[in-house]
């Protein structure tokens, strides 16, 4: 059986699974503030979704570094955190619109009192359409 975790081509996959594991073991007050995270030049960057989480990360940076050592990230030397200024991109999900079922109000029974010939003919066309739909 082929073990792809040791293959150099799948290095990013291995790193991402370790980072996902880190996110799972973070305390709830830190986990809820993370929008996403990535590594670059042996630095772990956390992108936060609100300004108040910066203080939480500031006070718990040593905890995060120790958790990184437990998982096996010896190469990460520092963590940085910042709040993104870009709005969150929401995926568009089309809503299924359910149209209400209407009871039939008209059966085409009405008096046509139009004096104009064109209006009279239009009313008769409407009457025929209603009768076709019954």
Q: How confident is the model at residue 134 (pLDDT cuts 50, 70, 90)?
A: low
pLDDT of residue 1: 56
pLDDT band at residue 2 under the 50/70/90 scheme: low
CA 44 vs. chain centroid, Å, equals 24
Please give the structure tokens belonging to residue 30: 């830190």
- 91 pLDDT band, cuts 50/70/90, is confident
The CATH number of the domain covering residues in 4-83: 3.30.300
Q: Which residue has the tokens 């709005």?
A: 87
pLDDT at 3 over 90: no
In this structure, are strands 34-40 and 78-83 parallel, antiparallel, or unpaired? Answer: unpaired
Question: Which is more confident, 75 or 92?
Answer: 75
Q: How many CB atoms lie within 10 A of CB 120?
A: 13
Q: CA angle at residue 29 from 27 to 32, to 5 degrees?
A: 100
Q: How many CB atoms lie within 10 A of CB 48?
A: 21
Closest C-alpha to 49, from 31, 64, 68: 31
Tell me the pLDDT of the chain averaged across its residues: 82
pLDDT at 5: 62
Q: Quick: pLDDT tens for 14-70.
A: 888 888 888 888 888 888 888 888 888 888 888 888 888 888 888 888 888 888 888
Domain extent listing, the chain: 4-83, 105-134
Give the single-character DSSP code of 106. -
**pLDDT, greater one: 117 or 110:** 117
């Amino acid at each position: 059986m082929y073990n792809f975790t040791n293959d150099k081509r799948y290095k990013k996959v291995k790193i991402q699974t370790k980072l996902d594991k880190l996110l799972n073991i973070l305390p709830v007050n830190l986990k809820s503030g993370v929008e996403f995270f990535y590594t670059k030049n042996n630095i772990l960057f956390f992108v936060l979704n609100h300004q108040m989480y910066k203080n939480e990360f500031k006070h718990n940076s040593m905890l995060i570094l120790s958790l990184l050592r437990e998982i096996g990230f010896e190469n990460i030397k520092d963590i940085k955190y910042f709040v993104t200024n870009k709005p969150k991109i929401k995926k568009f999900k089309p809503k299924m619109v359910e149209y209400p079922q209407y009871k039939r109000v008209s059966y085409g029974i009405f008096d046509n009192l139009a004096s104009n010939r064109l209006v009279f003919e239009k009313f008769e066309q409407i009457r025929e359409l209603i009768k076709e739909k019954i």
